[in-house]
Amino acid sequence: MAMLVEGRWVRRDDPTDETTGAFLRPESRFRDWVSADGGSGYRAEPGRYHLYVSLACPWAHRTLIFRRLKGLEAVISLSVVEPEFDDGDWRFGDGPGCIPDTVNGCTHVRELYLRTDPRYTGLATVPILWDKRSGRIVNNESADIIRMLNRAFDAWGDPSVDFYPEPLRPEIDRINAEVYEHVNNGVYRAGFARTQAAHEEAVRALFATLDRLEALLSRRRYLAGDRITEADWRLFTTLVRFDAVYYLHFKCNLRRLVDHPNLWAYTRELYQVPGVAETVDMDHIKRHYYRSHPELNPRRIVPVGPELDFTAPHGRG
C-alpha cells in the first residue's frame, strides 16, 4: 500500500490492528456537502462538479450507478482511472474504458489530494467529488456522494427516482450498517487479514450475513421492501464482484454467490435494470484486483473465469 504523509508519497503496510491482525479501513477525510440551496457552502449547479472514479472499485461503482440512474451524465462530468495501480496509486490514462482528467490534467489521483491540501496525510482513494469552482475535493466518501446525487441535483436530473425515501430511511440505515460491516468491508477484512484468526472471523461473519440476506430476499423482493433503494445498490457492487474476485482472491470461499439462489437472482435483476450493465466492467475489475495486490497474487496472473451470465432470466417479479 502507498499513501500520502504530510504531502509525501510513501509506502506503508496495509492498516491493521497490531494485536489481532485485522484489516482497518481509514475514515474518509473530506466530508463537505453539496445541497440544492447552497446552504451547505456548495450549491448544486450543472457543470460545476466532476466525479473521479475507478470502474474496478465497488465504492466508486455506487456513484456511477446513481449518476446514471438519476440522469446526471450531462450535469456532472466524469474521469475514469486505469484499472491497475501505478506505484500504488490510481493513474489516469487512455486505455479501454478510461477517461483522462480533463479538469485538472493530473496523471495520478494523489495530485488531486495535494491540490486540495498540500500537506495531506491519508490514502488517495476514489470516488472523489470535485468542485471546479473552488478547485478542491468536496467529498471522498461514497456513502455521502450517492446521497447528494440522489436529491441535490433533482432540478436537472430525474426527481422521480428516489433511492432514499423518507418512510424507509430507518430500515435502509439499519441494513446499510450490517452490510457495510460484514459484506462491503467484510470481504476486505477477509482478504487483507494478517492472521488466520482475523481472516476466519471476517469470513464467518460475511457468510452469516449473506445467509441472513438470502433469507430476507425469500420474503422481500428488495432489501428494504418492494422497491429498489440505496441499500440494494450498496450491496450490489460487492455481489457483482463476488465470484470473480472475492471468492478466490480474498479467499471468501465457503460458498459462491451462485450457490445462494435468492442473492444470485437478485444480483441478476439489479444488473438488468436499464443503464446498470454499462457501469459494470469485469475486465477492469479483475485486472485491478489480481494485478494490483502483489502481496496476495505475486505473479499477477488474472484468472480466465468464472463464466457468469448476469443477463440470464432472474425469475423475480
The grid coordinates of residue 126 equal 476514489
The grid coordinates of residue 150 equal 440522489
Q: Residues 94, 13, 30, 125: what is their CA dihedral angle, to the nearest 10 degrees?
A: 20
> How are the residues of the chain apportioned to helix, strand and coil, as percentages rounded to the nearest 5?
40, 15, 50
Closest CA to 129 of 119, 116, 118, 120: 116
Q: Catalytic: which of 57, 246, 247, 289?
A: 57
Classify residue 199 by burial, with Cβ atoms within 10 Å: 0-12, 13-18, 19+.
buried
Q: Is 18 annotated as a binding residue?
A: no
Bridge partners (DSSP) of residue 3 are: 10
Specify the DSSP class assigned to residue 9.
E
> Is residue 57 annotated as a catalytic residue, yes or no?
yes
Q: Is 90 annotated as a binding residue?
A: yes
> Is residue 188 annotated as a catalytic residue, yes or no?
yes
Q: Is 141 annotated as a binding residue?
A: yes
The grid coordinates of residue 170 equal 430507518
Q: DSSP states of 37-88 as a string?
A: SSTTSEE--TTTEEEEE-SS-HHHHHHHHHHHHTT-TTTSEEEE--SS-BTT
Specify the DSSP class assigned to residue 227.
S
Q: Is 277 helix (H, G, I), strand (E, B) or coil?
A: helix
For residue 276, CA distances in Å to 25, 62, 218, 311 come to: 27, 10, 23, 11
Q: Catalytic: which of 52, 188, 247, 266?
A: 188
The CA distance from 241 to 247, in Å, is 9
Residue with cell 449473506: 210
Specify the DSSP class assigned to residue 183.
I
The CA distance from 171 to 168, in Å, is 5
Q: Which residues carry out catalysis?
A: 57, 188
Residues annotated in a binding site: 90, 141-142
Residues annotated in a binding site for glutathione: 90, 141-142
